Amino acid sequence: EDQVTQSPEALRLQEGESSSLNCSYTVSGLRGLFWYRQDPGKGPEFLFTLYSAGEEKEKERLKATLTKKESFLHITAPKPEDSATYLCAVQAVANSNSGYALNFGKGTSLLVTP
Amino acid sequence: NAGVTQTPKFRILKIGQSMTLQCTQDMNHNYMYWYRQDPGMGLKLIYYSVGAGITDKGEVPNGYNVSRSTTEDFPLRLELAAPSQTSVYFCASTEVPNTEAFFGQGTRLTVV
């Protein structure tokens, strides 16, 4: 059974204090790993897709990396506006019988204080 | 450019009542999905559609029904509301598999 586990559940950082969020996964054939940001009361907003081990993508203060077992979302010098819940999701070959729907982790709630 | 639009944003239902959650997208996406999000849990797939006239069950379909008569619309129907259906519901769409999904703003449903 496909599993996606995110850690930590919650993270509190001072502004400028860099850190990383982890997403470990067990799937039978990874088609893609996705990172989303979710603000309170809003729908998830797409950040990155990673397709193969060794791939990296960057956007402003965020950098996502992928290995065969896990992905990291690195946050460099975060600002208060980076506060949100970050969701990791995988799409597996086995998901082809569900329209290639995403299998989500529970998320990491990030709070960045001034 | 509206993207994915869900209505209503909030709703309180009594046990046994019925309602339809509306979802429409203006991006001409074939793939559409309904997820529910419960506190402390990941999003769970309820139903999905790969095109007009084609729908199928996801991980947690009991108590729900869907239809897809057009590419744009994918309504979710609750026939006999139960407290276990208290949740936040998200509709999403993708152009093709394995690409970014666009989500609506969600419908917060409370069944009392």
Query: Which residue in the set B58, B100, B102 is minimally distant from A101, CB to CB?
Result: B58
pLDDT in tens, A68-109: 999 999 999 999 999 999 999 998 876 666 767 889 999 999
Give me B49's structure tokens: 């559609």
**pLDDT tier at B38, thresholds 50, 70, 90:** very high
In a 13 Å sphere around the CA of A97, the CA atoms on its Cβ side amount to 2
In a 13 Å sphere around the CA of A90, the CA atoms on its Cβ side amount to 25
Cα–Cα distance measured from residue A70 to residue A33, given in angstroms and rounded to the nearest whole number: 9
Cα–Cα distance measured from residue B47 to residue B24, given in angstroms and rounded to the nearest whole number: 15
pLDDT value, residue B96: 86
pLDDT in tens, A30-69: 899 999 999 999 999 999 999 999 999 999 999 999 999 9
Residue ranges of domains in chain A, CATH in brackets: 3-96+107-113 (2.60.40.10)
Cα–Cα distance measured from residue B8 to residue B4, given in angstroms and rounded to the nearest whole number: 13
Q: Could you tell me which residue, A93 or A14, shows the higher pLDDT?
A: A14
pLDDT value, residue A97: 67
Residue carrying the six token digits 């409370």? B110
pLDDT value, residue A93: 76
pLDDT value at B1 more than 80: no
pLDDT value, residue B99: 87
Cα–Cα distance measured from residue A53 to residue A67, given in angstroms and rounded to the nearest whole number: 4
CATH number of domain containing B26:
2.60.40.10
pLDDT in tens, B58-109: 999 999 999 999 999 999 999 999 999 999 999 999 998 788 999 999 999 9
Contact residues, chain A, for B25 at CB < 8 Å: none
pLDDT value, residue A2: 80
* Interface contact A100-B31, CB threshold 8 A: yes
Any CB–CB contact under 8 A between A59 and chain B? no
pLDDT value, residue A27: 86
Cα–Cα distance measured from residue B6 to residue A108, given in angstroms and rounded to the nearest whole number: 25
pLDDT value, residue A44: 97
pLDDT value, residue A95: 63
Residue carrying the six token digits 């509190």? A12
Task: Give chain B's largest Cα–Cα span.
Answer: 38
Query: In a mutagenesis test of the B interface, which of A1, A85, A88, A100 is the best target, namely the one with the most B β-carbons within 10 Å?
Result: A100
Give the gap in angstroms from C-alpha B4 to the nearest C-alpha of chain A.
10
Q: How many CB pairs under 8 A join A and B?
A: 70
Give how many domains chain B has, as a whole number: 1
Structural domain including B74 reads 4-111
* Interface contact A100-B97, CB threshold 8 A: yes
Give the gap in angstroms from C-alpha B45 to the nearest C-alpha of chain A.
7
